[in-house]
Amino acid sequence: MMTSAVRHVQGRKVAELLGEWTAGAAASSQQLHRALRRLVLDGVLAPATRLPAERDLASSLGVSRTLVVRALELLREDDLVASRRGAGSWITVPSGGDGEGAVTGLFGPSGEGALNMAQATPCAPPELDDALDRARPRFAELYPGSGYDPRGLLRLRERLAERFTRRGLPTGPHQILVTSGAQHAFSLTLRALVAPGERVLVEHPTYPNALEAVRGLRASTVGVPMVDGSWDLDAVEATLRQAAPRLAYLIPDFQNPTGARLDEAGRQRLGTALRRNGTSAVVDETLVDMDLDGVAQPLPMAAFAEERVITVGSASKSFWGGLRIGWVRASEDILQRIAATRVAGDLGTPVLEQVVFAELLADADTVLGRRREKMRARRDRLVELLGTHCPEWRFQVPRGGLSLWCDLGVPVGGKLAVIAEQHGVHIGSGMHFAAHGNLERFLRLPYTLPPEQLEDGVARLARARDALRSGVSSVEFPVM
């Protein structure tokens, strides 16, 4: 748990963020609690933000100090706020928060029986047990030495390089650096290549924690909207030319959250634009193995602009997020810069996990085949359930990835998320994925949960949608 604050927010700013939080009714501490809770869960009030003094907040909101004190008490009970005498109160990350979106509001609900339909994070495959067994014997003998290696275990780098080569991108182990996940890989690359104040081109919408990493560096994002579930390459080219971003961050394989995949002609064009403008791109391949329909297998993006593309990958979706293993594929020069950046924060990825993952990779085809089959069935089930219970929501069925990007038709994503929580289901509304503005019409729904939980989740969501429509909810919002 966080023990102090790193930024402040004034009472009048909180009032502005809350907007019409009483919806015209007499103010109550419960209402203020719910409204503040939403700001925290939506990531608008970020972890480690110090809240204004109670007196300041009360006067900015035009309510009594007692009401504010009670609302803060309720937030403390939720584990969303911590306080210390003399230091005030600040936003914290709930102790149960983990994984994707942990600091951006996609973390799960804490209530018993609550379902998390915000995180697209599959469970460990059963084959992990065998990989652990295979990793154990003669460990100390096979892995002598200190275990410190910012580049990662050679055996694992060889296996990862082999996988790139098999995909049509010849690669040697010297071109790979093992990290603790793709998020770590991206943030290290960012720190190695981008200075505060510089621009990073991103897709809009995109992966929320990548946005966090750019903002955390005090660099700025330049969003290029995805149009009709695909890349607007004219706009990408124009942005590269006009905004001269220092780096681009792109997810051409089952883009998170839209699920889109860039075809080879698009990759060719993008590669040419990167080369022409001298812009490097981090290409995030976290979801590349989640190719559920296996229709066309474009060459990896790096094959189209080898010298401009830095590829990051991950074990998280293909195998298991708990391994915390990712990697960067780049030129030796760039890897050296990344390795030098890395030592300020960590001195390498744990060896045990690398050994286990290298063992798991020996079984990759079997593990991935089973996972794809399972996720394909879950995707199809979610599509069917939404067709029955929420037929007005629109989405393109993605050929891969782990979630559906739903257009609700009306800008109510945030409201629906709040009411859905009361119905025991946590969802990620569009705003989390927005590089700019808001995407209140959208909702990202992962299909990683088992079918019976998907059924339960969609039934709860449909009830939340009905409550929102009819205004029958304990949360009061202005009429839609």
Ligand X SMILES: Cc1ncc(COP(=O)(O)O)c(C=O)c1O
Residues that bind ligand X (CB under 6 A): 100, 120, 181-183, 207, 251, 256, 284, 286, 314, 316, 321, 326
Considering the complex, state which of residue 261 and residue 415 has its C-beta at the smaller distance from ligand X: 261
Compute the least distance from the CB of residue 207 to ligand X, in Å.
4
Compute the least distance from the CB of residue 291 to ligand X, in Å.
15
Compute the least distance from the CB of residue 147 to ligand X, in Å.
21
In whole angstroms, give the CA distance from residue 216 to residue 458. 35
Compute the least distance from the CB of residue 257 to ligand X, in Å.
8
Considering the complex, state which of residue 120 and residue 339 has its C-beta at the smaller distance from ligand X: 120
Considering the complex, state which of residue 21 and residue 186 has its C-beta at the smaller distance from ligand X: 186
Considering the complex, state which of residue 89 and residue 187 has its C-beta at the smaller distance from ligand X: 187
Considering the complex, state which of residue 171 and residue 183 has its C-beta at the smaller distance from ligand X: 183
Considering the complex, state which of residue 183 and residue 239 has its C-beta at the smaller distance from ligand X: 183
Compute the least distance from the CB of residue 283 to ligand X, in Å.
10
Compute the least distance from the CB of residue 316 to ligand X, in Å.
3
Compute the least distance from the CB of residue 256 to ligand X, in Å.
4
- Give residue number: closest CB to ligand X: 181
Considering the complex, state which of residue 35 and residue 182 has its C-beta at the smaller distance from ligand X: 182
